[in-house]
Amino acid sequence: MYEWEGQERVGPVRGGARAGEGARKGSKMGDNEDEGNHRPSVTMKETEWSSLKDRRKVERVNVCRLLGTCHDSASRFVHVLTKGQRSHLLPDDFISLVQDVVDTHPGLTFLKEATEFHSRYVHTVIARIFYCVNRSWSGRISVPELRRSNLLQVIRLLEEEDDINQVTAYFSYEHFYVIYCKFWELDRDHDLFIDRQDLQRHSDHGEAPSNISLSVALVELFFCIRQGREAMTKHSYVHVVLIAALSTRIIDRIFSGAVTRGSRQHPDKMSYTEFVWFLLSEEDKQHPTAIEYWFRCMDLDGDGFLSMYELEYFYEEQLQRMEAIGIETLPFEDCLCQMLDMIHPVVPGKISLRDLKHCKMTPIFFDTFFNLEKYLDHEQRDPFASQRDHDTDGQELSDWDRYAAEEYELLVAEEGGADQQDDM
């Protein structure tokens, strides 16, 4: 079904299937639903019969052309998904393919009936595909980009792997669930857009009680910081009162269009697809796209370097926030020395994208300048201690994989708690 090497795959993946249209059982990607399955009726008129024969002839010619012009699976894949119309892939070209995964993958059987979520799943997968594969940020996946990516390999893996959650690249249902729930929490009016205030609440864990006194809050906060993340979640209300994870300056930059392709549908609003990019970038700052994402946000003048004044601009707000909650602060000059020691820029005093991609500690760099929660987290840890977890095959988990697994557990536990409350 997901075999793209095969030469017989020439028709559209799922003719006209739209996300959310509902499951169509038993259909296969190779079936041409409009023509291939229907034998000509005996009552068919002579003209209809000859037109059908003509169409078949055209199809055969198309197969020959496909084999002649598409030399490998990547170019065949693009040819098939675009029906031979283009040499690059647009997001909508993937809709039928991902819908077909929803309809036919054994690991998504439970999703089949929940047609209202099909479109959400489909668009999450597509956003993740573009995030990883479209390295040029052009909004169009070229054949070379596809060749350099693991996408076709992952699509083939869907054939063999019945547990969709093992396919952590792009298709995992658990990862989708985490992304979607995070968005749903922030999008209070559920119009599928979030604004600056919504994003400010990202990574907060609840509402603050109104009667909390500041001194108690400060004491609690220090406990949180000392005891680490566990305690932080437990006393999160204190955290909510005093600090949001992201600085307002970086949120302004995210909304400024620095990391948006094309023009926004709604000015000052972030779409679901943009949120997928944001969350992936926020939770895995080692990923090349994430490094580009935050670099674009911080490069205020767009000259391809992070200069001292840009670093100072972002650090200034961090300093104010730390001072406001009584945390001992490091003056900008000292912080700058530390950061330059860590990054070792090729051009002294100016940090390039390449410098950040070469550095293993880039997440610490970014969090120092705009994410107070993560910055304080890093502060408590030994930066050289191995943080890496491994999966059952001994493969190193990415920061994203680890985050998604942890958040999924939390969401399931929350849901279990809510169910119990309902039963009482």
Binding site for Ca ion (CB under 5 A): 187, 189, 191, 193, 299, 301, 303, 305
**How many other CB atoms are there within 10 angstroms of residue 387's CB atom?**
13
What is the β-pairing status of strands 141-142 and 305-306?
unpaired
Q: How far is the CB of 300 from Ca ion (least distance, A)?
A: 6
Nearer to Ca ion, 177 or 272 (CB): 272
| Closest CB to Ca ion among residues 191, 419 | 191
From the CB of 303, what's the least distance to Ca ion, in Å? 4
Nearer to Ca ion, 154 or 339 (CB): 339
Smallest distance, Ca ion to C-beta of residue 194, A: 5
Smallest separation (angstroms) from Ca ion to the CB of 305: 5
What is d(CA 380, CA 35) in angstroms, rounded to the nearest whole number? 64
Distance CA 111, CA 212 (A): 43
Considering the complex, what minimum distance in angstroms separates the CB of residue 139 from Ca ion? 24
Compute the distance between CA of residue 364 and CA of residue 285 in angstroms, rounded to an integer. Answer: 9
Closer residue to Ca ion (CB): 129 or 279: 279
> Phi first, then psi: what are they for 142, rounded to 5°?
-85, 165
Query: What is the spatial distance between Cα 254 and Cα 274, in angstroms, rounded to a whole number?
Result: 10
Going 406 to 408 to 412 to 415, the CA torsion angle's sign is positive
Give the whole-angstrom CA distance, residue 2 versus residue 323: 55
**Please, which residue, 116 or 189, has the CB nearer to Ca ion?**
189
What is the nearest approach in angstroms of Ca ion to the Cβ of residue 356? 13
Supply 311's token pair. 């670093």
Q: Which is nearer to Ca ion, 228 or 349 (CB)?
A: 349
Q: Could you give the 3-state DSSP secondary structure of residue 252?
A: helix
Find, among 163, 218, 15, the residue nearest to 99 by Cα.
15
